Amino acid sequence: MTAYLIKNVSVVGAAPTDLLIRDGVVAEAGAGLTAPDATVLDGTGLVALPGLVDLHTHLREPGREDAETVESGSRAAALGGYTAVCAMANTSPVADTAGVVEQVWRLGREAGLVDVQPIGAVTVGLAGERLAELGAMADSAARVRIFSDDGHCVADPKLMRRALEYVKAFDGVIAQHAEEPRLTEGAQMHEGEVSTRLGLTGWPAVAEEAIIARDVLLAEHVGSRLHICHVSTAGSVEVLRHAKARGVKVTAEVTPHHLLLTDEKAETYDPVYKVNPPLRTAADIAALRAALAEGVIDIVATDHAPHAVEDKECEWAYARPGMLGLETALSIALDVLGPQWDLIAERMSRAPARIAGLEGHGLDPAPGVPANLTLVDPAAHRTIEPAELASRSRNTPYARMTLPGRIVATFLRGEPTVLDGKAVK
């Protein structure tokens, strides 16, 4: 195993130092390190972060390998600075059995670019009718701890209560896609002035807020852990703030796109901006940014959702919702939060690793810690070209935008997955 000596790197924003990576761990940290056998990387001007952890990734395999595979998604993740991603269950077949989650887990190991942690479905076939075999998935080789019907809301309150209760046996967490289905029938975009003007059926903020309000009360009632996927409205932030003040065990994520893009993007009718939950208003963005800084929202998660060209190059109403996110998330966070490295490390690595229960991830580079880390050049800017992305799909909403920050290198247990901004394999 090659050793790496990273010279003059700022660990999470601290004064520059050297890091020696050997045998899968950070062997030494400190100024003036030498290691004759090590490959030396000049870290001048770079920031070392604990490898990013994405709690919300769609890898599309099995079923839509034309849009993404575990391998291509893993490569996109590594290039984005990630060392672990949680793969959502809405594949085909659905990841609702031990067999499917083990398959995804094994494909992740074979790709070897990030740790792929499968998420299991809450209900059989995501149909919202009866519980999937949550315990079997928890006991499988994939050791599933997060369960989600993402893409669909667990709308039945009794089923949601039972799921929250049941996963306590193995310290599981239910990640809810908060969308009251009756209030969003046929919904195409945020319900507001723009939807009125465009004649597109609205997705009202209350459809998200009502489910979050219900579920924090359910989680409080049964004393379970609840995670809220892709929070998108100012009202949801207020519900979460209230719940956290009461001591409810709830965590929440926000996506990069909900921190940056507004519903006015729909005015082009280009479905690259169609996403679920939809892009909201500038006021929502301001509330989400404040909540992320404050900790009412715990993490940034990408909701990386690759789609084949034909599913986006069509009429808005017929397009599938979702956007790419893995290769641009850190840049958006840097753009939104500024160089607050400790905050970025907390929201994009430490906290998601804690929520997911991923051992060896979310730990700042220090002697003895598994060498899961990424090196960022904060001074660099890059213009996003869809064709240059590692994802199999091209549905980035940031095409031709110039964003700050560039991932220079990523290490997974001491092995580089990205060097010089390029995937190693």
Active site residues: 303
Among 44, 92, 268, 402, binds other proteins (CB under 8 A): 268
Q: Which residues pair with 247 in a beta bridge?
A: none
d(CA 423, CA 419): 6
Question: Under the criterion CB under 8 A, does residue 388 sit at the interface with other proteins?
Answer: no
Question: Are the C-beta atoms of 9 and 334 separated by less than 8 Å?
Answer: no
Question: Under the criterion CB under 8 A, does residue 318 sit at the interface with other proteins?
Answer: yes
Whichever of 96 and 191 has its CB closer to other proteins, that residue is 191
**Length of the chain in terms of residues written:** 425
Q: What are phi and psi of 5, to 5 degrees?
A: -115, 115
Whichever of 36 and 199 has its CB closer to other proteins, that residue is 199
Among 77, 200, 330, 409, binds other proteins (CB under 8 A): 200
Give the type of residue at 23.
D
Whichever of 80 and 192 has its CB closer to other proteins, that residue is 192
Q: Which residues pair with 42 in a beta bridge?
A: 7
Among 23, 110, 193, 385, binds other proteins (CB under 8 A): 193
Question: Under the criterion CB under 8 A, does residue 181 sit at the interface with other proteins?
Answer: no
d(CA 250, CA 243): 8
Piece in contact with other proteins (CB under 8 A), picked from 37-45, 115-123, 141-149, 185-193? 185-193
Piece in contact with other proteins (CB under 8 A), picked from 35-43, 94-102, 195-203, 374-382? 195-203
For 221, the 3-state DSSP assignment is helix
With CA atoms as reference, report the closest residue to 87 among 51, 114, 112: 114
Least spacing, CB of residue 197 vs other proteins, in Å: 4
Among 32, 315, 400, 420, binds other proteins (CB under 8 A): 315
Whichever of 22 and 265 has its CB closer to other proteins, that residue is 265
d(CA 85, CA 78): 10
d(CA 296, CA 79): 28
Give the type of residue at 421.
G
Question: Under the criterion CB under 8 A, does residue 199 sit at the interface with other proteins?
Answer: yes
Among 110, 310, 385, 388, binds other proteins (CB under 8 A): 310
Among 31, 130, 181, 269, binds other proteins (CB under 8 A): 269
18 burial via Cβ count (<10 Å: 0-12, 13-18, 19+): buried
Which residues in this chain contact other proteins in the complex, by CB under 8 A?
188, 192-194, 196-201, 268-270, 310, 313-318
